Chains A and B, each alone.
Chain A
Amino acid sequence: MARTVLWTSIIVLFLSLFESAVLANLTFLPVLPDLVLLVVVYVSFINSSTAGSTTGFISGLLLDFLSAAPVGLNAFTKTVTGFIAGRFSGSFNLDRLLIPALMGFAATMLKALLTVLLSFFFGPEILKYRLLGSALWLETAANTLCAPVVFSLMSFFPTLFTNRKGLR
């Protein structure tokens, strides 16, 4: 599992830097897809909930240091997302388009729900998605569209992201 977590952390580090230093500067993009979330979902689904929560926690923490969000917010949401995605590991076959898109959609919805819950417990410093706000739906659409691409790209490297022992 350590190998999977290590490689995922490296990919996530690269992706989060790419998002903040390159993609975020493209001001014509209305929202950024949460590529880190998609990576966490993929790694969790093809491994286990243990690997999922660990990669989610590390990825979230890395992202927290680049964001104006309170430290721990991304760590919390991605840990939960990774754990839940890991619980579904092996429950169904991962096809090319539909299942990844659905998982991207569901993960974004879960993230939005978690921010609402955390905002309730930790106060207004934690910003939450508005149900009728454009940010939620644009990001959901972006993640839904990007998920099949990210999953396909990551499936090219099964040895890096798959836990050999299949811990569960």
Chain B
Amino acid sequence: MNSRLPVKFRPDFILLGLYLLFSGILLAFSSGGFVVNFRNIGFSIMSGAQRGVYSVSSFFSGSVAAVRELGELKEKYRELTVRLEDYELLQRSNADIRVENEHLKTLLGFTETISIKNIPAEIVGRDPNNLYSGITLNRGVHQGIRRNMPVIAFQGSNTGLVGKIVQVGRNTSLMMPLYDYQCFVSARLETSRYDGLVNGQGNSDSPMVMKYVKKRARDDIKIGDKVITSGDNYNYPKNIPIGFVSRIRGLDYETSLELDIEPVIDYSRLENVFILDMTVPTEGGNEMPESTEGGM
């Protein structure tokens, strides 16, 4: 009598099945609220390590820059000692301190100009997956960061909304930038006051799209018009600049217009951001002062 089972069990297939089952369960739960938040635990651990790697790489790049600067300084020092030694060296030190002072003043000024309580943060990492665009910041629960907090940035004379917090670890957090496919912001045209919904296209180089703008607004909208947050639903403060209209699209059979929006902030140069805590009551309410910076 043959006692062998008719079905042959292959360990590799069983293992594959188990892994896929586990991945599937994780996928199913990651968008909902499961008792154990795998994402939070994993994010805290991995982003902590990410922060460490960033610090190490910053240290090395800083060291390389310092060595290079040291070489340059030596060269300059020789020239300066030949000419006016102490005087010119002192002047250079003064200039360095002045530049640093200006930078710090600017950052301090930015913090003070925001009426809403804000937490400055630095970008320490970006998403390794090309389809997703999460940005890791070096502030987390310990610094008072919570999910859905809006994030703004300053660049030159421009202030702009850059995204919102979607994941928080102990000392790090994950920001979803405005250009992400899954980011939607209630927006308004600053001059004509028409409302719409701004949505990213997944890439910082592609313009964002403002949808559901009334078709009758066609004649009132011009290229270069500024788009700001409308403050609807209290997700974002009112009047934060988002971008400028770069193209107007409207087909005859559609009931609304679509506008291409160039973001105010250049994401490729983004280093420091400010996370807004809208739960802390302020004198002017959760509203940014009307911006005064120029157009495109």
Assess the B27–A62 pair: CB atoms within 8 A: no
**CA gap between A73 and B64 in the complex, in Å:** 38
Question: In the docked arrangement, what's the CA distance between A69 and B43, Å?
Answer: 12
A125 contacts B31, CB within 8 Å? yes
Per-residue contact bits, chain A 50-61, to B (CB 8 Å; 1 contact, 0 not): 100110110011
Size class of the contact patch on chain A: 35 or more
Q: Given A22-B53, A50-B11: A79 and B19 within 8 A (CB)?
A: yes
Within 8 A of A (CB), among B219-276: 267-269
CB neighbours (8 Å) of A72 from chain B are: 22-28, 30
**A66–B47 CB distance below 8 A:** yes
Question: Counting chain A CB atoms within 10 Å of each CB, which of B26, B51, B123, B167 scores highest?
Answer: B26
Q: Is the CB of B16 within 8 A of A53?
A: yes
Interface status of A147 (Cβ within 8 A of chain B):
no
Structural contact, B25 and A27, CB atoms closer than 8 A: no
Contact of B20 among A22, A76, A122 (CB under 8 A): A76
Contact of A70 among B31, B53, B126 (CB under 8 A): B31
Q: At the interface, is chain B mostly helix, strand, loop or mixed?
A: helix
Partner of B27, one of A63, A65, A76: A76
Contacts of A79 in B (CB 8 A): 16, 19-20, 23
Residue on A with the closest CB to B129? A67
A interface secondary structure, majority: helix
Q: Give the distance in Å from the alpha carbon of A81 to the alpha carbon of B197 in the complex.
A: 38
Nearest-neighbour CB distance to chain A for B54, whole angstroms, equals 4
A14 CA to B19 CA, complexed, in Å: 22
| Interface size, chain B (Cβ < 8 Å) | 55
Choice from B38, B49, B130, B267 contacting A135 with Cβ under 8 Å: B130
Q: Which residue of B23, B28, B267 contacts A57 across the interface (Cβ within 8 Å)? A: B23
In this assembly, does B15 line the interface, its C-beta being within 8 Å of a C-beta of chain A?
Answer: yes
Nearest residue in A to B167 (C-beta to C-beta)?
A68
- Say how far A12's CB is from chain B's closest CB, in angstroms: 11
- Contacting residues, chain B, for A25 (C-beta < 8 A): 123, 125-126
Other-chain residue from B26, B31, B181, B182 in contact with A75 (beta carbon distance below 8 A): B26
Residues 115-143 (chain A) with a chain B CB within 8 angstroms: 115, 118, 122-123, 125-129, 135, 139
| A35 to B: closest C-beta gap in Å | 9
Q: A99 within 8 Å of B by Cβ? A: no
Most chain B CB inside 10 Å of its own CB: which residue of A23, A63, A71, A139: A71
CA distance A53 to B176 in the complex (A): 31
* Contact between A129 and B125, CB atoms less than 8 A apart: no
The one of A24, A34, A48, A122 in contact with B125, judged by C-beta atoms closer than 8 angstroms, is A24
Apart from A21-B125, A32-B128, A65-B43, what are 7 other A-B pairs with CB-CB below 8 Å?
A17-B50, A21-B53, A23-B128, A53-B19, A67-B132, A123-B31, A139-B130
Q: Which 5 A-B pairs have the closest CB atoms?
A: A68-B134, A72-B26, A65-B42, A24-B126, A72-B27
20 contacts between A and B (CB under 8 A): A17-B49, A20-B125, A20-B126, A20-B127, A20-B136, A27-B268, A31-B130, A50-B12, A53-B12, A61-B26, A68-B127, A68-B176, A69-B132, A70-B27, A75-B19, A75-B23, A75-B26, A79-B16, A79-B20, A127-B131
Q: B residues touching A (Cβ–Cβ < 8 Å)?
A: 11-12, 15-16, 19-20, 22-31, 38-39, 42-43, 45-47, 49-51, 53-54, 57, 123-134, 136, 166-167, 174, 176, 180-182, 202-204, 267-269
